[in-house]
Chain A
Amino acid sequence: MELFSSVMVALICVNLGYLAVTRLRSLARLTAVQGVLLSLAPLLFAAPGDHGHALFLSLGVLAIKGIGFPWLLARTLSRLEVNPVVEPYLGYNLSLLAGVSGLLFSLWLETRLPFPPGLFPPLLFPAALTSIFTGLTLVVARQKAVTQVIGYLAAENGIFLLGTPLSGQGSVWLELSVLLDVFVAVFVMGIALHHISKTFESIDVGRFCTLRD
């Protein structure tokens, strides 16, 4: 269980890192770290005699979230030739403060919610919730379209983490299709990003102000 707790703590640190990082490339690297950590989760939950499924799922997560996404992001960043700074709407210190508050809130919530006994090991719920919270913060509090994609990924990772203890036998195909779907979503967003940078000569979503009532 100690290994598990270390992984959860590492995930929480990565989440706070998302909010403090000032370079887009470091942000893309953090998604790789988060993906690799996340790929360990299915293995740690594997029921005895069910290692095949867990390994399969873990490899899927590693391939998609640990390697695929970060590679796509890195490729997009190098092709876009954008300003490498994150450019926040909400400053780094305030974002970090929001992240820490989210963490404290989820730690408190963990003590209050009526969890089904034996379902969530300690620290998993706060780690997942902080991830969702950080992701959504990145979506709304950062200026560039690419940070919205990374935020969406972080939120999706948190949701995935919350779902791992529930992964039952036989449903592994569905989990993989969920993963694949998210992968395609990022792919489509990546294509949209290219068009945005080509058309607007920037990926600053603050320029999206034509359509309104």
Chain B
Amino acid sequence: MWLISGLLVVLVGVLAVLAFMYVLPLDSRDRAPVQPISFSHKKHAGDNAIPCLFCHRLAPKSTVAGIPAVADCRACHLFIAQNTPEIKKLMTYWENKEPIPWVRVYSVPDFVYFPHKMHIRAGLNCATCHGDVASMERITRGVKIKMGWCLNCHRQHKASIDCWTCHK
């Protein structure tokens, strides 16, 4: 008898730990991965107040927001902070003709159709989904992109919640 109850306790314990680990994102590698260059959004978007769309310029016209080409980074940094170690890294990438292998932080599964375009045109602030990027040294995902979270917002804004809106 004590054997069965002991096993049950262990099982419940393991499940509890699993659930705990699932709910509490203890592992930060996924939400705030180390990037190849320690690019600071705080410096760019916060201190220097560069608008998001200056670099992520595809957001108003495409499904993706787009990340700046290496040539675009270089265009500014030929004149700004040329001698810091991170910019030297950037220039090495450029000289080797290699793109910077950024690590993706935000993604939706491929069965979800998510166009940035529509959300920008609806007047949503970037921070609504991406959080206060302007204060982040390293980009960190603040929200869990789950369907319920999408639906909540769609309901609040009276956007379509038809299945085909996103799953097509």
Task: Tell me whether A and B are bound partners.
Answer: no
**Interfacial residues, chain B to chain A (CB-CB below 8 A):** none
